[in-house]
Structure 1
Amino acid sequence: MNRQLLADFEATWVPRVNTYLDENLREVSDRAELTAAMRYSVLAGGKRLRPLLSLAVLATFNQPITAAELRASVALELMHTYSLIHDDLPAMDNDALRRGQPTSHVKFGEDLAILAGDALQPLAFQWLADSGLPADKLAKLTLGLAQAAGPQGMVAGQVADVKSTGTQLTLPVLQQLHREKTGALIHYAVLAGAIQAGVSEPVQAALTTFGDAYGLAFQIYDDILDVTSTPAQLGKATHKDAGEHKNTYPGLLGLAGARQALQTAVASAQTALDRTEALSQTDTALLASFLTYFTN
């Protein structure tokens, strides 16, 4: 795993993603307050991990990243941001800080925050639909994103999360919760790159196995950071999960057990990339570099 590969890729694409979001959200609504609330949360920063994963799959398979591929990939950040706005609401996690800034409902009020999230979700599909990609790919992308974000994906995981607070889950149930809540959009990010790159079904399956393992690792790592970091380091409140009796990997397995589970998930992701490489005869070092995120 080469950390510099990831750093170079981020240096190239994060500014392009941010510029694209900035330029394309300037006149997104004829309601100034709505535009401001949407822009506030989308442009607040973040790793842009999900569009980066899609773009990295395209780069891995030497697929030219045209305006169409960029728009389709960046659309996922709109869906992700909608989920963060709603996740922070008082009825959900009741967070006042996100990426080092006041959350949307703190800044704009609950009503406008909800509506900003409501607007970003369909806008993600709009950007997919008008991206200019071929119709067969658009159909697969639209279905994949709907499944990832909907009642068998991210929303299902959020329901499981809020309804299980105060009740200790078994490890398999906790893993299923996070496959839906966190993992579904990461799965889709990798799937979207595979669809756009036009890889074979076996290669797509190996790639999405990587995405699933990556999503699990991402959640375990986030749970560990909630225990071991400060609010200044994370840009959001820490130690909230334990205080609110939420189900987490350190809470279930202990910190050492959570770290072992993280190592297992990372190893599974690497195994999936090894299979991808064997099936496609394509170097997957760029995708493997994303695993260095968990070695910080």
Structure 2
Amino acid sequence: MAMLSPKFDDLTIGHDFLFKKVMRNPRICKHLLEEVLQAPIAEISYPEIEKTIDVFYDSRGVRLDVIVADEKHTHYNLEMQVKNTTNPKTGQHVLPKRTRYYQAMLDVDALQKGQNFDLLPATYIIFICAFDFFGKGNYIYTFKKRCLETSELEFPDETTIILLNTTGTHGNISPDIKSFFDYVNQHTVTSDFTKQIDKEIFHIKSDQKARLEYMSLETYVQDNRYEAYAEGEAKGLAKGVAQGLAEGEAKGLAKGVAQGLAEGEANEKFATVKRMLRRGKSSLAEIAEDTELPLDTIKRIQAEMQAV
């Protein structure tokens, strides 16, 4: 059985739900961007929060946590990443390819049919990671395309990927970013900036509407989990008992029950996978990690659903 989600009062800035709520405050979000980029931003707007982009009916969508745009039409995608997720089948970390996919989907969504490519806005994909993906100790890892033969030659496609490492030990960051990292890691208030964030979180947790929104979301998720578990367990157990009784031996009964329980657990997981695929809120890799099923199995279930 999957672990229960944290209670609303126990949520921290590292939780997806609360992070999006906090970044909805334009003053906090704008200041965070300015401190990361070390450049002023006149103003920001919110094209959409937690936007799901679907390109074709048979392609996988991508859920984006926070998208903001500045006065120059530059788009910023902010993501909170507390786990360094791996593909359970290959053992490969999914973060690099996830940023690549996010970038592609942002571009496809930004360019309207018939528009020229040069109208694509400059983009920044910023992942706030509670781990050091590269293990180099940097506070910030910034990536742009450069020529291998002439390293100072930058490819001018105006795309930037930034990984913020809250566990870093060196690099050029502002005091407010360092205090923000400490707040993510240890929930300690050490600056006016984190005091603003902590105050915002207090207001969010005092908002009955936000509480009900979180509870409704978690209740829906848990109901689906319990429903799938009960359905799978009952079917598997009944099949196992019937098979064991038919064999007429204690050994056969034990084997049948064990097999039935295993099949029931599999049925539960398959039902959960289908529900998660229908909602389209998680990537295939995330579904594989949450259900502990091979990625190939997730793809097979997705193909079967699309064939119906």
Q: What TM-score do the two structures reach when normalised by structure 2?
A: 0.26
Determine which structure has more spread, i.e. the larger CA radius of gyration: 2
Higher relative contact order, chain-length normalized (CA < 8 Å, sep 6+) = 1
The structure that is helix-richer by fraction is: 1
Q: What TM-score do the two structures reach when normalised by structure 1?
A: 0.27
The structure that is strand-richer by fraction is: 2
